[in-house]
Amino acid sequence: MAWLLPPVSLGHSSCGVCSYLACSTADTHIRVDPYGFEQPENLDSADEAFLSAYPAVLARRAAKWSRLLKARGGVRRSPTVKRYVRKGIPLALRAHVWMALSGAQERMDQNPGYYQRLLQGERDRSIEEAIKTDLNRTFPDNVQFRKTAEPCLQKTLCSVLLAYGHHNRGVGYCQGLNFIAGYLILVTKNEEQSFWLLDALVGRILPDYYGPAMLGLKTDQEVLGELVRAKLPAVAALVEGCGMQWTLLVSRWFICLFVDVLPVETVLRVWDCLFNEGSKILFRVALTLIKQHQEFILEATDISDLCDRFKQITRGSFVTECHTFMQKIFSEPGSLPMTAVTRLRERCRARLLAQG
């Protein structure tokens, strides 16, 4: 259980998460979290308090999960599993549960050797070059992604993205997938599983976010605008009143599925639900962030200030305390039936297509 371990000091950048304890005596100390991300020298006292309390929560959840798996002999979607997932999947089980709930495991089992064949086939140079441009620019603050790391996750990332680009030619490579695949690799520590999970996300869970027209992405940003208009009209009035488009404020939220927007642990908790409940969860997170900070947003004095405030609301103890945050996303935004989301998506999509 990674989060049972406190942040540790790393001697040099070549250590992987599995061996980091061995390096704590070296001269140069870098504080990293259990995923290999560098941490600030001085954590916020609120963050420290949370970090010391959260392991107990995780231990309790881990015990419950272990009993559930033992009793059922596996994970299938059910109301109980949904409740369990919302309360968090322990890191050690995360890859297994994501694979099972998203259908990725099934696809992987049905297509033995497929991933390797993708990597052995002829390569599209434009896809390869686009991926290589981003390798050094993916998690430079993570010691496992450094060129000098052993094993170097940059190479793993490159393979997963290459395979995916050739598997789904309609998407190829889209910036943002590097961050998503990067997190999948950090969680699964397995190239092939990361590939199939990426396939589940891009191919089935998210509606056309990454294709050349990015229509699904643009649609969902419009949908968020509609939801804010319905649920938080004052914020919508402010944003629209100053001619702001939602893309400028939230594009990264959707494209990167909150990677590098919210704290790592919070992102992974969001993804737990994303793999089980689908893309609707992204609206819940966005709406919760906006609702919680409604007054703060409404104090914006001009456009620059508004943009800044939308960055600030993704930081601080509200989002670091992921356990409470995840409870809030299911209570704060109120009811959000899938039928309503589907209807809004259809309407916004038609509007975008009409605009050309």
Partner 1 sequence: MAAPARPPRGRHRDQCIHKPGGDLRGRTPWQRLRDTSFGADTVHAGAVAQGTRSPGVAGLSEATSMAGHSSDHGVVMLVGDSGVGKTCLLVRFKDGAFLAGTFISTVGIDFRNKVLDVDGTKVKLQLWDTAGQERFRSVTHAYYRDAHALLLLYDVTSKASFDNIQAWLTEIRESAQPDVVLMLLGNKVDSAQEHAVRREDGEKLAKEYGLPFMETSAKTGLNVDLAFTAIAKELKQRSMKAPSEPHFRLHDYVEREGRGASCCRP
Binding mask 26-65 for partner 1 (x = CB under 8 A): ----------------------------------------
Structure tokens that stand for 257 in this block = 């599925």
Distance of closest approach, residue 143 Cβ to partner 1, in angstroms: 12
Let me know: does 225 contact 233? Beta carbons within 8 Å. Answer: no
> Could you say which residues in the range 294-323 bind partner 1, by CB under 8 A?
302-304, 307-308
The CA distance from 17 to 37, in Å, is 10
Let me know: does 20 contact 142? Beta carbons within 8 Å. Answer: no
Residue 141 interacts with partner 1 (CB under 8 A): yes or no: yes
Binding residue for partner 1, selected from 98, 179, 196, 283, defined by CB under 8 A: 179
Between 69 and 238, CB nearer to partner 1: 238
Instruction: Find the DSSP H helices in 10-44.
Output: none
Distance of closest approach, residue 212 Cβ to partner 1, in angstroms: 5
Q: What is the CA radius of gyration of the chain?
A: 21
Residue 140 interacts with partner 1 (CB under 8 A): yes or no: yes
3 state SS of 43: coil
- What secondary structure letter does DSSP report for 356? -
Binding mask 248-267 for partner 1 (x = CB under 8 A): x--xx--xx---x-------
Distance of closest approach, residue 151 Cβ to partner 1, in angstroms: 19
Distance of closest approach, residue 178 Cβ to partner 1, in angstroms: 7
Between 84 and 210, CB nearer to partner 1: 210
Between 205 and 306, CB nearer to partner 1: 306
Q: Look at the chain and count its residues.
A: 356
CA angle 94, 95, 100 (to 5 degrees): 100
CA distance to 35, 58, 295, 316, per residue, from 64 (Å): 24, 10, 39, 29
Binding residue for partner 1, selected from 138, 159, 219, 320, defined by CB under 8 A: 138
Q: How many residues bind partner 1 (CB under 8 A)?
A: 39
Residue 14 interacts with partner 1 (CB under 8 A): yes or no: no
Between 175 and 317, CB nearer to partner 1: 175
3 state SS of 24: coil
The CA distance from 149 to 152, in Å, is 5
56 class by beta-carbon count within 10 Å (0-12 exposed, 13-18 middle, 19+ buried): exposed
Q: Interface residues with partner 1 (CB under 8 A)?
A: 126, 129-130, 133-134, 136-141, 174-176, 178-179, 210-214, 217-218, 241-243, 245, 247-248, 251-252, 255-256, 260, 302-304, 307-308
